[in-house]
Structure formats: C-alpha cells, structure tokens
Amino acid sequence: SPLSLQEENRVLQQELSRVEDLLAQSRAERDELAIKYNALSERLEQTLRLEAGEREGAESRSLAQHNIELRRLLEEEQAAYKRKLQAYQEGQPRHRSSKPSVTHPGPSAQLLQYKKKCGEVEQQLLEKATELEQERLTLDVSLEQPEEESCNELENALIRLEEEQQRGVRVPGG
C-alpha cells in the first residue's frame, strides 16, 4: 500500500509537471504572438493611413472578402484549440478514475492541490482564448481600408502565425 501511494504520488507529480510545462509554453507563445500581432497591427495601420483614399471599388470588395477569409481561418483555429482543450479536459477524469481510491490524508491533499492547479491552468487557457478573440475583433476593425500590399503581408503573417500555433499547440507525449 505505501508503494502504491508513492507510485500514485509520482504519477501525479509527473502530470503536474507536464501541465506546468504546458502552461509555461502557452504563456511564452501568447507573449510571442502578442508581440508579433502588435508589430503587424502597427505596420498595417501605418500603411492604411498612407494609402487611405487612393483605392476604391473592387479593391475594397477584395479586402472585405480577404477579411472574411481571415476571420474564418481564425475561427477555425480557435475551434481546433477549444477541441484540443476539451479533449484534454475529458481525458483527465478517465485518468483519475483509472486509479484506485485513496483514503490516506496526504495524497488526498496532494490531489486537491493538483486539481486546483489544473483549474488555474484551464482558467488561464480560457483567458488566452478571450484575449485572442479580442485581438481578432481589433484586427477586424483595423482592416476597413483596401490595400493589396498589406493584404499580402497580412496573409503571410497569418500563415506564419498559424505555423507557430501548430508547433506550439502540440502536447508532448500525447
């Protein structure tokens, strides 16, 4: 029995460490994306100010279509992120239920601490999703003037952003 408690404690510590690593990685990604987003937004805003009033008609429709496509891509990425988070959350109860019940007060306190830590990580992930949605809305507002060059630059930046997100969202060992 003491060996199984020690084993369970070791497994919980490993899982906690893995979740903390994911959180640190998520924070680093968020910071990096925020820097890239701010730089891109500033550049786009400057370009739009310089080019304001020079182009009309078809280019405006083209930019609106491009904006719709970017919004769709962002929504797809956000939905994929939510699905991964939900799959992770659903995997947690199965992981816990496969372990034997422990009535010893020590591991029980550790389990509560672990659950609390998981809750904090989930809350931070939800905050990140909210942040991304706010950034998406800000980007939508800033894309009102047509400018083909900035469209190409924005599309390239979005592709790089998606590649960064795909590399960062992968969960090690799962």
Cβ-contact 98, 131 below 8 angstroms: no
The answer as to whether 165 is a domain residue is yes
pLDDT tens track for 95-143: 555 555 545 455 677 778 888 888 888 888 888 878 887 777 776 666 5
pLDDT above 60 (res 76): yes
Range of the domain at 37: 7-91+111-170
Residue of 130, 125, 126 whose CA lies nearest to 171: 125
Residues sharing a CB contact under 8 Å with residue 139, sequence separation 6 or more, in sequence order:
37, 41, 70
The answer as to whether 65 is a domain residue is yes
Total structural domains in the chain? 1
The answer as to whether 99 is a domain residue is no
- pLDDT for residue 95: 54
Q: Which helix (H) or strand (E) holds 34?
A: helix 2-51
